[in-house]
Structure 1
Amino acid sequence: MNIILISSQSAQAKKIVLTKLHLAIFTGAILTTVLLLALSLNFFSLRYADRIEAPVLKALLVSPQEKRHQKIQSQLHDNLSVMAAKLGEMQAQLLRLDAVSAQLLELSDLESDDFMLDQLPGRGGAYTGMHTEALSFARFERELQTLSGMLDDRSDKLSALETLLRSERLSKRVMPSVMPIETDWYSSGFGFRRDPFTGRRAFHEGVDFPARTGTPIRATAGGVVVYSDRHSEYGNMVEIDHGDEMISRYAHASKLHVEVGQVVTQGQKIAEVGSTGRSTGPHLHFEIRHKDVPQNPSRFLKKPD
């Protein structure tokens, strides 16, 4: 590139020849100068922004910093709001887990004092200072999300376990299992025997518990009374439906204390021992039938501890 300089004081023109090297050096110098100016302004705005008195210069230099600071603060505020909401959810989940845990302890007959649900578990150990790492905000947020997911999972599993335990306990309450009267023996067992009236071999569909007239007869399990009336052979009789086609039968009673359709609980007094119907003396004839098939009561009944 040729540059010709003409002066009014000199009749001779001057010629300057610029090569590609000269242009590269000139361009580099300009870029370097601009970069240094930008860095200087940035350093000046950060170091002396609070000392600037000129309003125009202060607005020019400080405004971008304030905007960046405000943007960062806004993002932090939004993240903290989200984390605060998540923390509130986790606190509610913990309260629910405490309640479910207490119910599970009650259902399992364990001592709640052994678990100390109202206290934080003890922790400790020597501090070595090795393999320590500062907790970043992003990592803290990830761990908070992971913990929240674990709480949801544990809550669902504990709720399912509570349902199973309640169902099991309910099954025990509606399964004929407690003795219908207070006695340690029976006079006639389940199965084939000599009929007390005919002397012939006949199948006995229940067990006979001898007792004094008026002795309380109690429901061996909870259920609904489906029969409470006089029977031609069983005399005064009560039948209780326990569900799943399971029925318990109480015969030869002197008095009945329940009515058809009444809901009874395990151990509730339903009648009194007598000798009504086809009977040789005061006793309770007790049967358990499943799908109308007689079952051996000794497989179900348990003597009180």
Structure 2
Amino acid sequence: MNIILISDRLGQAKTLTLTRIHFILGAVLILMMVVLLAIGLNRFVGNLADRVDHPLLRTVLQHPEFEKNQRVQSYVNKNLDYMATKLGHMQVQLLRLNALGKRLVDLYGIDSHELSFDHVPGQGGLSLESGQEDVSFEELSQQFFGLAKLLDDHSDKLTILDSMLLNERIEQEMLPTAMPLDAHWTSSAFGTRVDPFSGKKTFHEGVDFPAKPGTPIKAAAGGVVVYSDYHSDYGNMVEIDHGNGLVSRYAHASKRDVSVGQLVLKGQKIAEIGSTGRSTGPHLHFEIRHNGVPLNPSRFLQMPG
């Protein structure tokens, strides 16, 4: 673009040539002037608002800055409300974890001083004034929500662990591993033996524990009584179903203390030693069967030497 300058002082006309670069530089210059003017005007209005005593005029001058502060305050309030709600959820989760932890400590005999849920673990260190920085709101928010997510994850995993351990403990309680009476020896073991009545070789399907008449007979594991009656060979007999096809049998009792359908616990008294049925003297004939097949009780019980 060419601009021709004509003047009476000039002996001849002069021509100015404007290129694209000149236009770009001019536009940048104008834009900078507008920005500087806006900044200066904003500072001027702010300073003027601080010096003006008239309430209406002060409100008009401070309105843009007031709206900005209101938006920031609204954003902060919303985040604080959400964080407060999340904090309440974390407190509930923490109470749940404490209760769960205490139950696991009590259930498995863990030293309460080693793993305490009532006291905050000790912390400490040097007091270094140099190099310390204030935690920003954004950093605090990130740590807060990271902790909330970690707490939820650990809560779920600990609940699953508690369920698995509880199931394992229930299975152990349902296995016939407890001695059915206080005995120090057996009068007849599991397996082939000579029958005390016929004198012939027969298979003995349990173990015999000799004891004084009236000695308490205890359930080897928890379960449901499925038989409590008199049998022609076994005499007064009790059978307990422990689930998964396992049944324990207690025979030749003088007295039965449980009835069919009753729920019994491991170690609970269910009968008393006697010599009823096909028996040569007071003792307990004890069997363990799986789906009707006799098993060696020594595989389950801590047998006497």
| Normalised-by-shorter TM-score class | 0.7 to 0.9
**CA offset at residue 275 of structure 1?**
1.0
Unaligned runs of 5+ in 2: 7-13
**Partner residue, 2:294:** 294
SS at the partner of 2:184? coil
Cα 1:35/1:149, change in 2 over 3 Å: closer
Cα 1:30/1:225, change in 2 over 3 Å: closer
Letter of the 1:86 partner, please give it: K
Computed over aligned residues only, the root mean square deviation of the Cα atoms, in angstroms, reads: 2.9
Is 2:202 the counterpart of 1:211?
no
Is 2:292 the counterpart of 1:285?
no
**CA offset at residue 122 of structure 1?**
0.7
Is 2:170 the counterpart of 1:178?
no
Cα 1:80/1:240, change in 2 over 3 Å: same
**CA offset at residue 112 of structure 1?**
1.7
Percent identity over paired residues: 52
Cα 1:49/1:268, change in 2 over 3 Å: same
**CA offset at residue 268 of structure 1?**
1.4
**Partner residue, 1:254:** 254
CA distance in 2, matches of 1:241, 1:33: 94
CA contact (8 A) 1:107 1:166 kept: no
CA distance in 1, matches of 2:28, 2:169: 88
SS at the partner of 1:112? coil
TM-score, normalised to structure 1's length?
0.86
CA distance in 1, matches of 2:300, 2:36: 96
**Partner residue, 2:244:** 244
Cα 1:112/1:65, change in 2 over 3 Å: same
CA distance in 2, matches of 1:182, 1:170: 24
SS at the partner of 1:92? helix
Letter of the 1:216 partner, please give it: P
What are the superposed Cα offsets for residues 24-80 of structure 1, whole Å, 9 maximum, x if unpaired? 899999877755543332112223422213566534421101111111111111111
CA contact (8 A) 1:107 1:165 kept: no
Cα 1:264/1:63, change in 2 over 3 Å: same
**Partner residue, 2:97:** 97
Unaligned runs of 5+ in 1: 5-16
SS at the partner of 1:46? helix
Moved more, 247-256 or 116-125: 116-125
SS at the partner of 2:228? strand
CA contact (8 A) 1:236 1:251 kept: yes
CA distance in 2, matches of 1:30, 1:217: 105
CA contact (8 A) 1:210 1:282 kept: yes
Letter of the 1:198 partner, please give it: S
**CA offset at residue 209 of structure 1?**
0.7
Cα 1:34/1:176, change in 2 over 3 Å: closer
CA distance in 2, matches of 1:200, 1:177: 31
**CA offset at residue 165 of structure 1?**
1.6
**Partner residue, 1:235:** 235
**Partner residue, 2:107:** 107
Letter of the 1:53 partner, please give it: D
CA distance in 2, matches of 1:183, 1:156: 46
**CA offset at residue 172 of structure 1?**
1.7
Cα 1:33/1:214, change in 2 over 3 Å: closer
CA distance in 2, matches of 1:31, 1:282: 112
What are the superposed Cα offsets for residues 186-213 of structure 1, whole Å, 9 maximum, x if unpaired? 1111111111111111111100011122
CA contact (8 A) 1:187 1:210 kept: yes
